[in-house]
Structure 1
Amino acid sequence: MYQLTINIPEETALALKLTPEELSQEMKLISAIKLYELGRLSSGAAANLAGIPKVLFLTKLADYGVDTFQLTEAELAEELKRA
């Protein structure tokens, strides 16, 4: 497992009203959500990065304004034809 260290100003943590542990978890979740949103990680891989179950990850997406399913209109039409 890789371990990354990032420096975050104390003022940022104070402004967010988060403990260092909470901030660490929030940063992992936000990173995972953004990588999922960009299509760089699957929902399962993103949940793994965030350190939470996939079902919980999928429910957290709405909290950050990210669609759970990312289908284009054409892909959705194709899915509907197959249903």
Structure 2
Amino acid sequence: MMEEVLTIPVSREIRTMLNRTPAELARDMRLYASLMLFRLGKLSSGAASEMAGIPRVMFLDLCDEYGIPISQIAPEDLRREVDNE
């Protein structure tokens, strides 16, 4: 699959505040965007990990680190499903 390059303007002041090189900031933004899109249900964990450029297992570990649930099933729905089987 051919990748497209997106350009996001970020001021030098912001980069300085974040203390990141352009390459580090680009990597961080890919990761944070993929985490958010996964959290919103816009991407699967596989697609989000691909977007972030990291293995799926590492992506799921980062979800845990950032408090992002890896399942969209509410606990009460899961209990109902288990009770009905």
Relative to the length of structure 2, the TM-score reads 0.85
Q: Which runs of 5+ in 1 are unaligned?
A: none
- 2:22 equivalent to 1:20: yes
- Of all paired residues, the percent bearing the same amino acid is 39
CA distance in 2, matches of 1:8, 1:82: 52
Question: Which stretches in structure 2 are left out of the alignment for 5+ residues?
Answer: none
Give the AA of the match of 1:36.
F
Aligned residue in 2 for 1:10 = 12
Give the superposition deviation at 1:74. Answer: 4.1
Match for residue 67 of structure 2 among 62, 65, 74? 65
Cα pair distance change 1:72/1:16, threshold 3 Å: same
Mapped to 1, the partners of 2:64 and 2:39 lie a distance apart of 12
One-letter amino acid of the counterpart of residue 66, structure 2: Y
Aligned residue number for residue 31 of structure 1: 33
What is the CA deviation profile of residues 14-45 of structure 1, one whole-angstrom value per residue up to 9, with x for unaligned ones?
11111111100000000000000000100000
- Residues of 1 paired with 2:83 and 2:53: CA distance? 36
- After TM superposition, give the deviation of residue 69 of structure 1 in Å: 2.2
Residue correspondences, number: 82
TM-score normalized by the length of structure 1: 0.87
**Structure number with bigger Rg:** 2
Residue 54, structure 1, aligned to residue 56, structure 2: yes
